[in-house]
Amino acid sequence: MKSSVVLLFCLAASLSGLAQKSPVFAPEGKAIKGYDAVAFFTDAKPVKGADSLSYKWQGVEWLFVSRKHLESFKSNPGKYAPQYGGYCAYGTSQGHKAPTEADTWTIVGDKLYFNYNGEVKKMWLKDQQPLIKKADQNWPEVMNQ
């Protein structure tokens, strides 16, 4: 089962990666599909931001649910922006970009991570620290794919 999940993940990631040249996961120009990056830290859940509360950073729009969240992000985007541009942390550890779903989020060491789907998140959770180390090493090259 695990090998078939990994195989399907890798296939989907390579196909989706063809369209993901940006260093930030931003379908339709909105970072992390329009979810408020700050809300993962303050509300402990995914919350869609509003188009009227946006901030352009790293070439894409980041959306927020409140002026307070917007200002927090503006003052320190590196604190709130997800690791690996919001692409799948597990995928980055394997050397490629993959899209993510908001409900796969985790915060580890005050850093935000996402995964491709729930099954991939389970694999990520089993071996998080070594996978983070590998993804950190891979990101400079993967970022430009």
Provide mean pLDDT across the span 117-129.
Answer: 97
Which residue type, as a one-letter code, is found at position 11? L
Per-residue pLDDT at 1: 52
pLDDT score, position 23 = 94
φ/ψ region of 118 (left if φ > 0, alpha if ψ in -120 to 50, else beta) reads: alpha
Among 69, 100, 73, 75, residue whose Cα is nearest residue 86: 100
Residue 59 pLDDT greater than 50, yes or no: yes
Give mean pLDDT, residues 3-14. 48
Residues 13-46 pLDDT 10s: 444 444 458 899 999 999 999 999 999 999 999 9
Q: How far apart are CA 41 and CA 10, in angstroms?
A: 29
Is residue 129 very low, low, confident or very high in pLDDT (cuts 50, 70, 90)? Answer: very high
pLDDT at 27: 92
Q: How many CA atoms lie within 13 A of 113 on its CB side?
A: 25
pLDDT per position as a tens digit, 75-113:
999 999 999 999 999 999 999 999 999 999 999 999 999
Q: Record the pTM.
A: 0.87
Q: Which residue has the higher pLDDT, 9 or 70?
A: 70
